[in-house]
Chain A
Amino acid sequence: SQQGEEDPQALSIQEGENATMNCSYKTSINNLQWYRQNSGRGLVHLILIRSNEREKHSGRLRVTLDTSKKSSSLLITASRAADTASYFCATAQTNAGKSTFGDGTTLTVKP
């Protein structure tokens, strides 16, 4: 099974609302990353949070990491139609070199 699993699978909101997506994982990690993918395109890196960090911000993005619960959340504030995309978390496990991607959350922001 996947190391990182996003929740919910799909999310639909109105423009201006906040969107929250969650990622849970099973084993200890070095870092956790969030990526965005527009339909039919490659992934774009959004933010990386290390295991010793609890919160990071980048523009309208806020990421939290709770290693005791093995979970992370991505908050997009004041959403825009252009935020419509799929969002993936990727976890770099402590005992493995590579990162593992989850299945993604599909976000739809209605104008």
Chain B
Amino acid sequence: DVKVTQSSRYLVKRTGEKVFLECVQDMDHENMFWYRQDPGLGLRLIYFSYDVKMKEKGDIPEGYSVSREKKERFSLILESASTNQTSMYLCASSLGQVKDTQYFGPGTRLTVL
């Protein structure tokens, strides 16, 4: 079975802090994704990566950056956390094409105070 793990289930940070969210997948998938999920807004794509060191902006990249130095790991970085970045963050991966089936991690609920 594909396993996607996220570094934390719950995280509390202060405004202005630099925040790292880590995601690791163990199935040699080409593509990895970061979403945020907010009530009434569904899942919104922040960034995705289709190869090591490659990244593309999703629908809401502002305030975020990403890093993919190794195939199995995709990091989401909040350079200076703000309260409006309080959300559930979901990581996913897919094999082959970006539009193929995605396998999700359990999510990180981030609260920025």
The chain A residues found within 8 Å of chain B, CB to CB, are 2, 30-31, 33, 35, 40-45, 48, 88, 90, 92, 97-104
Contact = CB atoms under 8 A, between A and B. Distances in A.
Given A98-B48, A101-B42, A103-B40, A44 B104 contact: yes
B27 interface: no
A45 B99 contact: no
A99 B90 CA distance: 15
Contacts, number: 56
Given A43-B43, A99-B98, 9 more contacts: A33-B101, A35-B102, A40-B109, A42-B104, A42-B107, A43-B102, A98-B45, A98-B58, A103-B41
B107 A40 contact: yes
Main secondary structure of the interface of A (DSSP, over half): strand
A101 B43 contact: yes
Interface residues of B, number: 26
Contact of B98 (A40, A88, A97): A97
A2 B99 contact: no
Interface in B64-113: 88, 90, 92, 97-107, 109
B4 interface: yes
Nearest to A9: B40
A101 B44 CA distance: 7
